[in-house]
């Protein structure tokens, strides 16, 4: 940390790191605006997320292939992100901490390569007008026809979310329609 006191971007990939790595990084480099903790062998905890949320300039968070403990709904409180990467986390259900309030503070969300089968109704049927459209990359999940249809309809009629999906044949939305 002493060699790079003004570090703004931290990208750690794989390896056997001690628990609390995120907390240590936040203490060492409080100016971080981009953090990638990829394929970590230990579990990221609520304390790690609280530490990351304390970074005033954090706008990009990538957790690809890491392991995340079950987190409280408040896990993302304090974060406003241009990008949140949750690819290949083996998520089987939509995380409770990715609720509508958290999604309002994220510009782009990636959930590629998980095991998700559906998106919560409270997100698909969110009646609030879109301040901006949140891009959700969700390729490589286990969404069935109905789940894909629901996401396409939510995108088309509500406009709050835009989904990047592996659409079944015959469901691709035409731009001239």
Q: pLDDT for 122-148, tens place per residue?
A: 888 877 766 788 999 999 999 998 999
- Percentage of the chain with pLDDT > 90? 63
Residue 176 has pLDDT above 60, yes or no: no
Q: Which helix (H) or strand (E) holds 11?
A: strand 9-13
Q: pLDDT for 59-104, tens place per residue?
A: 999 999 998 878 999 999 999 999 999 999 999 999 999 998 899 8
Computed over every residue of the chain, the mean pLDDT equals 89
Residue 173 has pLDDT above 70, yes or no: no
| Torsion angle defined by CA atoms of residues 35, 9, 24 and 104, in that order, rounded to the nearest 10 degrees | -30
Take residue 94 and report the two structure tokens written for it: 């939509």
Among 8-12, 90-94, 173-177, the least confident range: 173-177
Give residues with Cβ within 8 angstroms of 110, minimum separation 6: 83, 84, 85, 86, 87, 136, 137
Residue 96 near residue 73, CB atoms below 8 Å: yes
pTM summary value: 0.90
Q: What is the mean pLDDT of residues 154-159?
A: 86
Helix (H, G, I), strand (E, B) or coil at 37: strand
109 phi/psi in degrees, rounded to 5:
-125, 130
């Amino acid at each position: 940390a002493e060699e790079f006191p003004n570090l703004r971007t931290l990208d750690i990939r794989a390896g056997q790191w001690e628990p609390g790595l995120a907390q240590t990084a936040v203490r060492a480099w409080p100016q971080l605006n981009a953090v990638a903790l990829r394929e970590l062998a230990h579990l990221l905890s609520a304390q790690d997320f609280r530490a990351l949320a304390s970074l005033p300039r954090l706008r990009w968070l990538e957790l690809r292939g890491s392991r995340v403990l079950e987190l409280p709904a408040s896990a993302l409180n304090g974060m406003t992100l241009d990008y949140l990467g949750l690819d290949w986390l083996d998520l089987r259900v939509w995380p409770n901490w990715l609720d509508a309030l958290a999604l309002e503070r994220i510009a782009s969300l990636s959930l590629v390569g998980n095991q998700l089968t559906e998106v919560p109704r409270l997100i698909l049927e969110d009646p609030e007008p879109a301040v901006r459209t949140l891009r959700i990359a969700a390729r490589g999940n286990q969404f069935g026809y109905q789940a894909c249809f629901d996401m396409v309809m939510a995108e088309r009629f509500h406009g709050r979310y835009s989904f990047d999906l592996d659409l079944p044949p015959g469901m691709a939305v035409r731009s001239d329609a």
